[in-house]
């Protein structure tokens, strides 16, 4: 899969995690933007159209579960892949993220060598969360 220029949004309230994820993905040819909370993500989505969103589940204010539900109801964002990304992997979080509409789940800490391949996988496979594939 050629990834040159595929836009990705990283929504994570930890600046170090955002920076690392952005660096890893940009190094692999993705165009990456970051948001530190739901409000920033919603504002950025007015001008940036990602093909994939990496969604931290534990965000301040509106959490990643609720933000995912909101985004999945927006017809403008139909087809955008949302992958949960969280350090607080608790029993049931993966199922909850899929119920909220996420198309996949990645637990932190990130495997920096595997992340680009995981992203490529999520971009090419049929959607599973959030309703119809």
Distance, in Å, from the CA atom of 36 to the CA atom of 49, rounded to the nearest integer, reads 17
Tens-digit pLDDT profile for residues 83-128: 998 776 667 778 888 899 999 988 888 888 899 889 999 998 765 4
**pLDDT for 129:** 46
Res. 81 pLDDT band, cuts 50 70 90: very high
**pLDDT for 48:** 97
Q: Which residues contact 12 (CB under 8 A, 6 or more apart)?
A: 18, 21, 34, 35, 36, 54, 56, 59, 85
Tens-digit pLDDT profile for residues 7-54: 999 999 999 999 999 999 999 999 999 999 999 999 999 999 999 999
**pLDDT for 131:** 37
**pLDDT for 87:** 73
Burial class (CB in 10 A: 0-12, 13-18, 19+), 24: middle
In the chain the domains, ranked by start, together with CATH numbers, are 7-124 (3.40.50.2300)
């Amino acid at each position: 899969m050629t990834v040159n220029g595929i836009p990705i949004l990283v929504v994570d309230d930890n600046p170090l995690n955002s920076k690392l994820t952005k660096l890893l993905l940009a190094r692999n040819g993705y165009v990456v933007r970051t948001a530190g909370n739901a409000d920033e993500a919603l504002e950025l989505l007015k001008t940036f159209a990602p093909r994939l969103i990496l969604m931290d589940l534990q965000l301040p204010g509106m959490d990643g579960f609720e933000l995912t539900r909101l985004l999945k109801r927006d017809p403008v964002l139909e087809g955008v892949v949302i992958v949960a990304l969280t350090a607080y992997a608790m029993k049931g979080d993966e199922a909850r993220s899929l119920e909220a509409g996420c198309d996949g789940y990645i637990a932190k800490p990130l495997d920096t060598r595997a992340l680009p391949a995981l992203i490529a996988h999520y971009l090419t496979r049929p959607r599973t969360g959030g309703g119809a594939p």
